[in-house]
Amino acid sequence: MRAIRVHALGAADVLSPEGVPLPEPKDGEARLRVEAAGVNFIEVYQRVGLYKSPLPFTPGGECAGTVTAVGPGVTSVAPGDRVATVNAMGSYAEEAAVKADRLVPLPDGVTARQAAAAMIQGMTAHYLATSTFPLKPGDTCLVHAAAGGVGLLLCQVAKRRGARVVGTASTPEKRALATAAGADLVVDYTKDDFASAAREFTGGRGVDVVYDSVGRSTFEKGLDALAPRGLMVLFGQSSGPVGSFDPQVLNQKGSLFLTRPSLFLYVASRAELLARAGDVLSWVKDGSLKLRMEHDFPLAKAADAHRALEGRTTAGKVLLIP
């Protein structure tokens, strides 16, 4: 079968399509035919070495498709089942092995392409808005990169929970997308003072929570947007990692809170995985959570997919189609 392999860390051109053996499922594992794989910044971080992976490796964890084989002891899925996962052992491939207890059944009416677009980013939006800071009516949140894959979904989930949303985006086209996703105010964070705009929007108080996937270029200014005892949720670093930080700054700016969460600790148990995925996929099925999927790349063009993601030329989800 064909897979994307990384033999050395570096720019996108280290992503190389190669022939590799078909993975044989071990105890507790299943193999699925990958019909769509999500492309995420976590794979960029792995490719450049910010997140460590032993070389060589096949990137990717998020995908959806059909089970083709199961290993010993697996009774939860069977060949022919339609499933999705965020824990594939290399989803940039035609087939991938997965621990069976990390597979989520797809509801009728949800396609593999939709599921691959919704799993990581949809469940990220879900845990951010329902667990890390459980938004409620009357709350105001600031969503950076509001037209990105997570951002568009997070705006929708926040509005679903009755919150007001201040979004940031870098182009008029992206700001229009964020507005369509429910943002009440959208600011160009590359040119305008988004912290001042957020404070003006809240009558000078500041927002209750900042959801920041950008990192280095937005972090410090984001603290200025928060209300006293507000929460900074740093869940990504698309502009680079935040540098050294003095916790005393949190005191000086209003007894603020800071957290650096990860999806995988919010779906660590199978029960939580099924609950979050169940909510997200049911919203996709009934049309109340709208996905944006305009960027499909053939598997062999994984390097182009990474360049598009890193260049911030995309809005919504980037997919690989084997």
Tokens of 296: 């499909």
Q: Tell me the backbone φ, ψ of residue 311, rounded to 5 degrees.
A: -80, -5
Q: What is the CA radius of gyration of the chain?
A: 20
Say whether domain 136-260 belongs to CATH 3.40.50.720: yes
pLDDT, one tens digit per residue, over 102-135 is 999 999 999 999 999 999 999 999 999 999 999 9
Higher pLDDT among residues 215 and 250, named by residue: 250
Average pLDDT over residues 317-322: 95
d(CA 257, CA 249): 10
Q: What percent of the chain has pLDDT over 70?
A: 100
CATH superfamily of 2-118+267-321: Medium-chain alcohol dehydrogenases, catalytic domain (3.90.180.10)
CA angle 216, 217, 221 (to 5 degrees): 105
d(CA 197, CA 314): 25
**Length of the chain, in residues:** 322
For the four alpha carbons of 46, 40, 114 and 85, in that order, the dihedral sign comes to positive
Which ranges constitute the DSSP H helices of 79-201? 112-127, 149-160, 172-180, 194-201
Average pLDDT over residues 77-106: 98
Tell me the angle at which helices 41-48 and 302-310 cross, rounded to the nearest 10 degrees: 100
Close Cβ partners of 66 (under 8 Å, ≥ 6 residues apart)? 32, 33, 35, 80, 81, 82, 83, 112
How high is the pLDDT of residue 41? 87
* CA nearest neighbour of 60 among 302, 317, 308, 293: 302
Average pLDDT over residues 226-230: 98
pLDDT, one tens digit per residue, over 68-84 is 999 999 999 999 999 99
Grade residue 240 by pLDDT with cuts at 50, 70 and 90: confident
d(CA 190, CA 207): 20
d(CA 70, CA 74): 6
Tokens of 282: 């049911």
Kindly give the pairing relationship between strand 2-6 and strand 15-19.
Answer: antiparallel
Concatenated DSSP letters of 232-300: EEE---TT-------THHHHHTTS-EEE---HHHHS-SHHHHHHHHHHHHHHHHHTSS-----EEEEGG
Within this chain, domains 2-118+267-321 and 136-260 share the same CATH topology = no
For the cut 90, the answer to whether the pLDDT of residue 189 exceeds it is: no
d(CA 123, CA 174): 22
Neighbours of 29 (CB within 10 A): 22
Residue type, 291: L
How high is the pLDDT of residue 311? 85
Place of tokens 């990958």: 34
How high is the pLDDT of residue 194? 97
pLDDT, one tens digit per residue, over 266-292 is 999 999 999 999 999 999 999 999 999
The helix (H) or strand (E) run that includes residue 5 is: strand 2-6
pLDDT, one tens digit per residue, over 9-44 is 999 999 999 999 999 999 999 999 999 999 998 899
The β-bridge partners of 14 are: none
Domain boundaries, given as residue ranges, for the chain? 2-118+267-321, 136-260
d(CA 155, CA 233): 15
The helix (H) or strand (E) run that includes residue 164 is: strand 164-168
For the cut 80, the answer to whether the pLDDT of residue 169 exceeds it is: yes
